[in-house]
Amino acid sequence: MSWSVVARKDFQDAIRSRGLIAMTVLFTLLYAGAAYAYTFIGSSNPQAASVLSLISFLLLPATILVPIVGVFAGYRAIAGERETGSIKLLLGLPHTRQDIVIGKIVGRSSVVTVSTFAGFLVAAIVAAVLYSSFPAVDFVAFGVLTILFALAFVGIGVGISAATGSTTKAIGGGFGIFLLFQFLWGQIPDLLNYAINGSYGFGGRPPNWSFLFRRLNPQNAYRATVNEWVVQSPLQQAFYQQLFGGDVPFFLSPWFALAILLLWVLVPAGLGYLAFERADL
């Protein structure tokens, strides 16, 4: 498997560049630090702190930080090789362009996975020691979904990197996508309605397509899967049942949200590969 050679070298390069260590420290400070701090923030009695409450507490910073780390891990994957000219050396070996894209995705994903896992492991130890109870299955599920969320943005970063020969364009495009998801995505249905009907926003219940569009945002999909599968808060589904009269559309289910995350791992990387395959190096 030629792509595995590329992936292994990419992972080893990350270790030598201390990128793996930096990411591990970052995730450890976020998750383990939050697990410790929440014993004082979330309750006047540290022993009464809840792991599920901690997960809800971590959702907001994770939704912002994890995409930035994923994009940062992926943006130089291929664009950096093209800028330095080392891409020609890679293609001079028995590697196809497809091998390079797959190998880069696996290598960068491995770096982010190891870093995230280490951060969650330390956080799990902190929570197991300090909290009165520790539902390990819930915490592991949160970790797995967070890793999948990170890999979605690694896929976006590598896809953009494969589509351009410039690291400047790759980092600009990656963070442009992040800003789109973070600040603008939820406004697009209202803007479309304004362009079509002349009014910003919807007078009553927004149309179904607007809910579908918002769910396509990987950040919203991640929050939905964590809230409905891990935290198991009844509020979101109760709100949808009331809004839709009990018949909640399939695209608001947690299974659909999980499928969205998987698509964000694969589709941007696939589109980037198609552009890379046609690029004149």
Question: Which tokens hold the place of 87?
Answer: 């891409």
On the question of pLDDT at 151 being above 90, the answer is yes
Question: E strands of the chain, at which residues?
Answer: none
Q: Please list, in sequence order, all residues whose beta carbon lies within 8 angstroms of the beta carbon of residue 143, skipping any fewer than 6 positions away.
A: 116, 117, 120
Q: Residue 156: its pLDDT value, please?
A: 95
State how far Cα 222 lies from the chain centre.
8
On the question of pLDDT at 82 being above 60, the answer is yes
Unique residue bearing structure tokens 């009553």: 204
| 140 falls within a domain | yes
* pLDDT mean over 165-177: 92
| 242 falls within a domain | no
Q: Residue 247: its pLDDT value, please?
A: 80
| 24-71 confidence digits (pLDDT tens) | 888 888 888 888 888 776 555 554 457 888 888 888 889 999 999 999
Q: Residue 261: its pLDDT value, please?
A: 93
On the question of pLDDT at 128 being above 60, the answer is yes
* pLDDT mean over 129-154: 90
Q: Residue 12: its pLDDT value, please?
A: 84
Round to whole Å and give the CA distance between 256 and 170: 29
230 touches 57 (CB < 8 A): no
DSSP state of 263: H
* pLDDT mean over 262-269: 93
Q: Output the average pLDDT for the chain.
A: 86
Q: Residue 203: its pLDDT value, please?
A: 66
DSSP structure string for 31-78: HHHHHHHHHHHS-SSGGG--HHHHHHHHHHHHHHHHHHHHHHHHTTTT
| 98 falls within a domain | yes
| 67 falls within a domain | yes
Q: Which residues span the domain enclosing 78? A: 2-185+256-278
Q: Report phi then psi at 232, rounded to 5.
A: 55, 45
* pLDDT mean over 114-119: 90
* pLDDT mean over 124-136: 85
Q: Indicate the pLDDT class of residue 97, thresholds 50, 70 and 90.
A: confident
| 194-246 confidence digits (pLDDT tens) | 787 766 666 667 788 889 999 999 999 999 999 888 987 666 677 777 777 77
Round to whole Å and give the CA distance between 245 and 258: 24
Round to whole Å and give the CA distance between 276 and 95: 14
13 closest CA partner among 85, 101, 73, 95: 73
Round to whole Å and give the CA distance between 248 and 190: 22
Q: Residue 234: its pLDDT value, please?
A: 63
275 touches 163 (CB < 8 A): yes
Element (H, E) at 182: none
265 closest CA partner among 182, 113, 148: 148
* pLDDT mean over 151-160: 94
> What's the structural domain count of the chain?
1
Round to whole Å and give the CA distance between 113 and 23: 10
| 44 falls within a domain | yes
| 195 falls within a domain | no
| 234 falls within a domain | no
Longest Cα–Cα distance in the chain: 63
CB-CB neighbours of 171 under 10 Å: 20
| 128 falls within a domain | yes
